[in-house]
């Protein structure tokens, strides 16, 4: 299936939890028909419980609510938390849950890492922000810097169809036909204009949602079947066609060799290439991996800045003030070769300029530029290290395809049985078909499992 560009959208940047959570919770509180929510992580903290309340209130008004969480990222939600949602009528789904072995989780590969919300098929949110208090500034020095977007317009139809299908609620055939681009849709060049194609279709104004703004938007996902490299491909094509500047802020930066090569080539042909990476990482090995690439880039003229105020969790990019992307996908082996991810790609000059201004604000106030090492006696080691890194990256997609390819399960928790053993599946609650759901009061009297943050977001 070809990716489709939808014109006529409004897009608003939401920076950090301070902007994202109020917007999402307000949309859920005003939902009239449907809420679809996918996330990697929900924690039982002030943010997780605020989400919990908003979802229960929506279900109480008769809104159809579906929530999809990841079986690794949200493995420790308590029976109390889940059973209250289920009792209120919220359909809770777990992506690829797994039984713990000696209290440890081994289902780390091929995670559902997307962060998507769709409300009433009218508003959509896509980005990298999980539902946890560490996305708020008052969390302290470990609060994360991150981004999402709110979308209104025809692109929401595409995201809505995708989110419904994921939880087993496909859009009715008649509605689907009405939402598809008409036969008059035309092939369009990539963001830099006609004459060059990138395999994308530009939808005509026939999409059911009325135009809401001037942005052209593309919903891009990565999976392990039909779209294994779509997100990386759009990055590479945009970088290859860049004329003036490439600005990327990415938390876990360790991309494949082809993307590395495009960045280096862009810098050598005079494009201003700037990377904002982690300087105060929540996962130290992420910074160590990225730092092995510094000499390779700096020698080609790439500018590298480390964001040092707090952990960087963003996954955004701006190219030539024309093309931009915001989403859940890091530029590392997990996101590019294993996880299920979702980004939106945008062609909108005002939004691109705004995002660039926010990133440049980080550079000016919170970043340190990485300088060339200059230690010649280490040159041989850097070259040897670079050789092994590059060849590992070049072959990683092939190696990843040989990792276990079990069919991930989407488990609907239409009833909840409480597992009193905290080392059991998901630490507290497991689906038990045929059992009666427990009331909130019953679940509340049971001990909740201890919440442990996974080591990789």
The predicted pLDDT at position 160 comes to 98
The tens place of each residue's pLDDT in the chain, 457 residues long, gives 468 999 999 999 999 999 999 999 999 999 999 999 999 999 999 999 999 999 999 999 999 999 999 988 998 899 999 999 999 999 999 998 766 665 566 666 789 999 999 999 999 999 999 999 999 999 999 999 999 999 999 999 999 999 999 999 887 643 544 454 443 333 344 333 333 345 577 765 445 578 889 999 999 999 988 899 999 999 999 999 999 999 999 999 988 888 999 999 999 999 999 999 998 877 777 777 788 888 889 999 999 999 999 999 999 999 999 999 999 999 998 899 889 999 999 999 999 999 999 999 999 999 999 997 655 445 666 667 666 766 666 666 666 666 655 566 778 876 444 343 333 333 333 333 333 333 333 333 222 222 233 333 4
Count of all residues that appear for the chain in the document = 457
Active site residue 354: no
The predicted pLDDT at position 337 comes to 86
Residue with tokens 């494949």: 256
Active site residue 120: yes
Nearest to 109 by CA among 382, 408, 435: 408
Catalytic residue among 76, 80, 96, 115: 115
- Rounded to an integer, what distance in angstroms lies between the CA atom of residue 199 and that of residue 244? 24
Sign of the CA dihedral with 127 first, then 133, 136, and 140 last: negative
For the entire predicted model, the pTM comes to 0.83
- Rounded to an integer, what distance in angstroms lies between the CA atom of residue 48 and that of residue 153? 28
Catalytic residue among 12, 45, 120, 223: 120
Q: Are 316 and 249 in contact (CB under 8 A)?
A: yes
The three-state secondary structure class of 425 is helix
Q: Where are the beta strands (DSSP E) in 31-131?
A: 34-39, 64-70, 91-95, 116-119, 123-127
Instruction: DSSP letter for 134, please.
Output: G
Nearest to 86 by CA among 429, 453, 446, 455: 429
Question: In the 3-class helix/strand/coil scheme, how is 266-310 assigned residue by residue?
Answer: HHHCCCEEEEEEECCCCCHHHHHHHHCCHHHHHCCCCEEEEECCC
No. of H helices and E strands in the chain? 13, 20
- Rounded to an integer, what distance in angstroms lies between the CA atom of residue 27 and that of residue 124? 9
Catalytic residue among 52, 93, 113, 135: 113
Active site residue 391: no
Query: How far apart, in Å, are the Cα atoms of 45 and each of 23, 49, 68?
Result: 18, 6, 18
The three-state secondary structure class of 67 is strand
Question: What ranges in 167-293 are assigned the alpha helix state H?
Answer: 173-179, 230-240, 257-268, 284-291
What number of other Cβ atoms are within 10 A of residue 410's Cβ?
A: 15
Catalogue all structural domains in the chain, each as residue range(s) with its CATH number: 3-173+409-444 (3.30.870.10)
Active site residue 115: yes
Q: Are 296 and 326 in contact (CB under 8 A)?
A: no
Active site residue 303: no
The three-state secondary structure class of 248 is strand
- Rounded to an integer, what distance in angstroms lies between the CA atom of residue 330 and that of residue 52? 27
Catalytic residue among 313, 321, 348, 419: 313
Catalytic residue among 93, 135, 160, 315: 315
Residue with tokens 């939880």: 167
Catalytic residue among 282, 295, 320, 321: 320
Query: How far apart, in Å, are the Cα atoms of 221 and each of 75, 320, 336, 386?
Result: 23, 23, 10, 30
């Amino acid at each position: 299936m070809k990716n489709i560009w939808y014109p006529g959208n409004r897009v608003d940047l939401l920076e950090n939890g301070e902007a994202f959570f109020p917007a999402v919770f307000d949309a859920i509180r005003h939902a009239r028909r449907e809420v679809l929510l996918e996330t990697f992580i929900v924690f039982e903290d002030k943010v997780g419980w605020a989400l919990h309340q908003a979802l229960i209130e929506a279900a109480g008004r008769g809104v159809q609510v579906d929530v999809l969480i990841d079986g690794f990222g949200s493995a420790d939600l308590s029976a109390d938390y889940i059973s209250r949602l289920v009792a209120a009528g919220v359909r809770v789904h777990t992506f690829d849950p797994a039984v713990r072995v000696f209290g440890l989780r081994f289902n780390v590969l091929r995670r559902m890492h997307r962060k998507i919300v769709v409300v009433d098929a009218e508003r959509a949110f896509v980005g990298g922000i999980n539902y946890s208090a560490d996305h708020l500034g008052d969390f302290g020095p470990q609060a994360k810097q991150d981004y999402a977007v709110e979308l209104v317009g025809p692109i929401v139809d595409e995201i809505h169809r995708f989110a419904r299908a994921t939880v087993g609620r496909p859009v009715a055939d008649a509605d689907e036909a009405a939402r598809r681009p008409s036969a008059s849709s035309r092939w369009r060049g990539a963001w830099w204009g006609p004459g060059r194609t990138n395999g994308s279709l530009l939808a005509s104004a026939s999409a059911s949602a009325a135009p809401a703004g001037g942005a052209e938007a593309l919903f891009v996902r990565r999976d392990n079947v039909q779209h294994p490299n779509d997100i990386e491909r759009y990055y590479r094509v945009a970088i290859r066609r860049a004329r003036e500047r490439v600005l990327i802020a990415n938390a876990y930066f360790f991309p494949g060799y082809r993307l590395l090569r495009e960045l280096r080539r862009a810098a050598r042909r005079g494009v201003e290439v700037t990377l904002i990476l982690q300087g105060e990482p929540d996962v130290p090995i992420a910074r160590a991996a990225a730092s092995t690439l510094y000499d390779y880039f700096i020698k080609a003229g790439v500018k590298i800045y480390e964001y040092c105020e707090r952990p960087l969790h963003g996954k955004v990019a701006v190219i030539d003030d024309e093309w931009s992307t915001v989403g859940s996908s890091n530029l590392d082996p997990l996101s590019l070769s294993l996880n299920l991810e979702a980004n939106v790609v945008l062609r909108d000059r005002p939004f691109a300029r705004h995002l660039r201004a926010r990133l440049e604000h980080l550079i000016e106030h919170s970043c340190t530029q990485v300088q060339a090492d200059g230690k010649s006696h280490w040159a041989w080691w850097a070259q040897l290290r670079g050789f092994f890194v590059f060849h590992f990256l070049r072959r990683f997609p092939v190696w990843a395809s040989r990792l276990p390819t079990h069919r991930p399960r989407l488990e609907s928790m239409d009833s909840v049985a409480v597992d009193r053993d905290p080392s059991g599946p998901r630490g507290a609650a497991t689906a038990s078909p045929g059992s009666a759901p427990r009331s909130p009061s019953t679940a509340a009297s049971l001990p909740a499992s201890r919440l442990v943050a996974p080591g990789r977001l």
